[in-house]
């Protein structure tokens, strides 16, 4: 029997454990120490799954092996190494937690997401702006990828209107849908100020992770209303520090005010409309959330948050390469 099976019924990464994937491996750090794990390409997906599950907690070693069958033989050794480096703790949550009201679940979900955010490295976009190393094209790239989200948003939200739950919930979703209409026009104005408009916008293609985020929100809206309501918290949160630095860096790169003002206006519209509270308001209308649903939503939010981090890296990598076409327009010829 593995020592970690004795020490941990449900192993969980401690707060502060960070990992960064590379082409052939992953770097894992905790405080002032770390380790690297190399793996063949075919094991990358399941290794990422294992690390994500250890972030969430709530699974035994046997369950982890079932979730990651391709690397099940390596899991005991990996857990032992994580334990040796002081990265693991026991998950304190009861395996069979009781169901809760939507209001209670919102509070727990907020705490969960707060803990999860602390396990991710600081935003590389924010760090580059603070350092003054963000390029003009990377700033424009941020606006281009934001355009895709705002342009697709009404179509992504629309399926949620078909999941009728109560008159109050229906009214809240309809109002939110109406508020999100035409926000893409603000970003269009921003892009127009740097020479991107008309036919280019029609032919633009999002980066893979931008598309993945949009598709995920659309699937939640259609298939899992609870995850959809929770996801809006991540999509609608406003980071004032980010937007302050964004404006400063645009000015430093001699981008016109017509470029950054519409982006800042879009952020302020969401703030004034109380969009950050939309998850809290919607979940307040849910009378009961089962233990299974709680776990499903938390897993979905963990994957969504990881996707958002990957999207940021993708924006920086693609638009930071002067050899890449900007905007990403493909005519099929």
pLDDT in tens, the chain (333 residues): 344 444 677 888 888 888 887 777 888 888 878 788 888 888 888 888 898 899 888 888 888 989 899 998 888 888 888 888 888 888 765 444 578 999 999 999 999 898 888 877 778 888 888 888 999 999 999 999 999 999 999 999 999 998 888 889 999 999 988 888 888 889 999 999 999 987 888 889 999 999 999 999 999 999 999 999 999 999 887 778 888 899 999 999 999 999 999 989 887 775 554 556 899 999 999 999 988 898 889 989 988 998 999 999 999 999 999 999 888 887 654
The answer to whether 214 touches 152, Cβ cutoff 8 Å, is: yes
Distance CA 252, CA 255 (A): 8
Residue ending a domain, choose from 63, 90, 117: 90
pLDDT of residue 108: 92
Same domain, 269 and 211: yes
Q: What is the largest CA-CA distance in the chain?
A: 65
Verify that 107 and 242 share a domain, yes or no: yes
Are residues 114 and 73 both part of a single domain?
no
Q: What is the CATH number of the domain that holds 46?
A: 3.90.930.60
Rounded to whole angstroms, how far apart are CA atoms 249 and 251?
5
Are 238 and 288 contained in the same domain?
yes
pLDDT at 93: 56
Same domain, 32 and 131: no
- Assess whether 106 and 83 both reside in one domain: no
B/e letters for 132-163, b = 16+ CB within 10 Å, e = fewer, are: eebbbbbbbbbbbbbbbbbbbbeebbebbeee
Verify that 246 and 132 share a domain, yes or no. Answer: yes
- Domain boundary pick from 90, 110, 137: 90
- Residues 70, 131, single domain; the answer is no
Contact 289, 105 (CB under 8 A): yes
331 within domain boundaries: no
Q: What are phi and psi of 125, to 5 degrees?
A: -65, -45
Number of domains making up the chain: 2
Which of these three, 34, 64, 90, is where a domain ends? 90
Q: 333 in a domain, yes or no?
A: no
Which residues neighbour 49 within 8 Å (Cβ) at sequence distance 6 or greater? 67, 68
Query: Does residue 106 sit in the same domain as residue 78?
Result: no
Q: Is residue 280 part of a domain?
A: yes
In a domain, 112, yes or no: yes
Give the DSSP letter string of 191-224. Answer: HHTTT--THHHHHB---HHHHHHHHHHHHHHHH-
Task: Give the Cβ contact number of residue 221 at 10 Å.
Answer: 24
- pLDDT score recorded for residue 271: 55
For residue 10, what are the contacts with CB-CB under 8 A and spacing of at least 6?
57, 58, 59, 60, 90, 91, 95
Residue 324 maps to a domain: no
Tell me if 261 is assigned to some domain: yes
Q: Which residue spans within 2-115 are E strands per DSSP?
A: 11-13, 17-21, 25-30, 33-38, 88-90
Q: Which of 24, 27, 28 is nearest to 88 (CA)?
A: 28
Q: Are residues 160 and 271 in the same domain?
A: yes
Same domain, 272 and 212: yes
**CA nearest neighbour of 92 among 30, 4, 15, 8:** 8
Residues 185 and 237 in one domain: yes
Q: What is the CATH number of the domain that holds 179?
A: 1.20.910.10
In a domain? residue 329: no
Q: Can you give the residue range of the structural domain that contains 35?
A: 3-90
Kindly state whether residue 82 falls inside one of the protein's structural domains: yes
What is the Cα–Cα distance from 233 to 263, expressed in whole angstroms? 19
């Amino acid at each position: 029997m593995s020592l970690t099976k004795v020490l941990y019924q449900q192993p969980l990464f401690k707060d502060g454990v960070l990992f960064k994937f590379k082409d052939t491996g992953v770097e894992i750090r905790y405080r002032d120490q770390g380790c690297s794990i190399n793996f063949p390409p075919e094991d990358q997906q399941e290794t990422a799954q294992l690390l994500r599950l250890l972030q969430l907690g709530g699974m035994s070693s046997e369950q982890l092996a079932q979730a990651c069958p391709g690397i099940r033989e390596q899991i005991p050794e990996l857990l032992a190494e994580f334990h040796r480096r002081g990265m693991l703790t026991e998950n304190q949550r009861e395996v069979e937690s009781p169901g809760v009201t939507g209001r209670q679940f919102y509070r727990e979900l907020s705490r969960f997401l707060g803990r999860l955010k602390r396990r991710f490295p600081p935003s590389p976009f924010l760090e580059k702006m603070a350092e003054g190393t963000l390029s003009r094209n990377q700033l424009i790239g941020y606006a281009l990828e934001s355009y895709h989200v705002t342009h697709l948003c009404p179509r992504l939200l629309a399926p949620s209107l078909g999941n009728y739950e109560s008159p109050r919930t229906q009214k809240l979703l309809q109002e939110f849908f109406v508020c999100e209409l035409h926000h893409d026009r603000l970003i269009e104005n921003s892009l127009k100020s740097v020479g991107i408009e008309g036919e280019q916008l029609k032919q633009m293609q999002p980066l893979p992770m931008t598309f993945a985020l949009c598709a995920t929100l659309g699937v939640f809206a259609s298939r899992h209303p609870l995850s959809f309501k929770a996801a809006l918290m991540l999509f609608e949160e406003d980071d004032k520090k980010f937007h302050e630095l964004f404006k400063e860096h645009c000015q430093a790169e001699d981008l016109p005010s017509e470029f950054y003002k519409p982006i800042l206006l879009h952020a302020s519209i969401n703030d004034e409309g109380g969009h950050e509270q939309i998850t809290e308001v919607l979940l307040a209308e849910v009378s009961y959330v089962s233990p299974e649903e709680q776990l499903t939503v938390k897993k979905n939010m963990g994957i969504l948050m990881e996707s958002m981090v990957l999207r940021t890296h993708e924006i920086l990598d693609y638009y930071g390469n002067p050899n890449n076409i900007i905007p990403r327009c493909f005519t099929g010829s």
